[in-house]
Amino acid sequence: MKQDLMKRKLLIVLLAAAPMVYHSCTYDVQTPNTCFQEDVLPIFVTKCNYAGCHNNQDKAKGYDLSTYDGIMNGVVAGKINQSEVYTQIRSGEMPPSSHTALNRLEKSIIKNWIKMGAPNSSNCSSCDTTYTFSGRIQPLMNKWCVSCHISGNAGGGYDLSNYSGIVLSITNNRLLGCINQQSSYSAMPKSASKLSDCDLNAVTKWVNAGHPNN
């Protein structure tokens, strides 16, 4: 009799703890100060903005995912379960298996941005004025450019996944001309708005300083 009572108490404790365990296993990656321009848009541009997919020319399923307005066609601000853009990412339907899937952090950034009300925000945190290659320039290229400019898929012949490839793109002012979207150069990121002033300034300072490999 006493053993049965102890078993029932143990079962009650386990059931009570189950939601806490589940919550800890599925907890989102922390994404403080989520900013549309600097954090959300690069994910859509690099993972969804391909020819035949969701760029401003093809608009697969009616969605141009290279701009805020286009992304908002598949987003209901504050409601992740009603936002088709997010539910397709969460289910694994998008991007298709032929392309690189979003990682856990990227999914959390989009989810939390929608929960915040999906604001068209930029410069949410103080501008990082440093321009070291390892701490600022390469991560910036990884965020915006490497999906289209990497060995085996080097758009325009430029591999921006490493120092030597990035230095090669500086020739004839090509890198700065492209990211500043000057008329005589191919605008980059392709089919998307320019990088933030903070990011553009960092790249410009690094190039003008002699592009140190630091």
**In this model, does residue 88 exceed pLDDT 80?**
yes
Q: What is the pLDDT of residue 195?
A: 86
Q: What is the pLDDT of residue 20?
A: 40
70: in domain: yes
What CA–CA distance (Å, rounded) separates 156 from 136? 23
Q: What is the pLDDT of residue 192?
A: 75
Confidence grade of residue 24 (pLDDT, cut at 50, 70, 90): very low
What does the H/E/C string look like for the chain? Answer: CHHHHHHHHHHHHHHHHHHHHHHHHCCCCCCCCCCHHHHHHHHHHHHHCCCCCCCCCCCHHHCCCCCHHHHHCCCCCCCHHHCHHHHHHHHCCCCCCCCCCCCHHHHHHHHHHHHCCCCCCCCCCCCCCCCCHHHHHHHHHHHHCCCCEECCEEHHHCCCCCHHHHHHHHHHHHHHHHHCCCCCCCCCCCCCCCCCHHHHHHHHHHHHCCCCCC
Per-residue tokens: 169: 């793109």
pLDDT tens column, 32-80 = 568 898 899 989 888 876 555 655 555 555 677 888 998 999 999 999 9
Given a contact cutoff of 8 angstroms between Cβ atoms, the answer to whether 140 and 205 are in contact is no
**Residue 108 and residue 69 share a domain:** yes
* Burial degree of 25 (CB within 10 A; 0-12, 13-18, 19+): exposed
* Burial degree of 81 (CB within 10 A; 0-12, 13-18, 19+): exposed
Domain limits for position 197: 133-208
79: in domain: yes
9: in domain: no
Number of domains forming the structure of the chain: 2
Structural domain ending residue among the three candidates 86, 115, 144 = 115
187: in domain: yes
**Residue 109 and residue 156 share a domain:** no
**Residue 204 and residue 140 share a domain:** yes
**Residue 158 and residue 94 share a domain:** no
**Residue 42 and residue 111 share a domain:** yes
**Residue 167 and residue 197 share a domain:** yes
Given a contact cutoff of 8 angstroms between Cβ atoms, the answer to whether 81 and 87 are in contact is yes
Please compute, for residue 5, the number of CA atoms within 13 A of its CA located in the half-sphere on the CB side. Answer: 2
**Residue 156 and residue 111 share a domain:** no
18: in domain: no
What CA–CA distance (Å, rounded) separates 18 from 84? 30
pTM of this prediction?
A: 0.67
Within 10 angstroms of residue 165's Cβ, the number of other Cβ atoms is: 18
What number is the average pLDDT over the span 184-205?
87
Structural domain ending residue among the three candidates 47, 81, 115 = 115
Q: Express as a percent the part of the chain with pLDDT over 90.
A: 39
**Residue 191 and residue 138 share a domain:** yes
pLDDT tens column, 120-146 = 988 787 788 889 999 999 999 988 888
What CA–CA distance (Å, rounded) separates 22 from 204? 47
Q: How many residues does the chain have?
A: 214
**Residue 146 and residue 75 share a domain:** no
What CA–CA distance (Å, rounded) separates 48 from 42? 10
11: in domain: no
Structural domain ending residue among the three candidates 59, 85, 115 = 115
**Residue 55 and residue 106 share a domain:** yes
**Residue 198 and residue 142 share a domain:** yes
Given a contact cutoff of 8 angstroms between Cβ atoms, the answer to whether 65 and 54 are in contact is yes
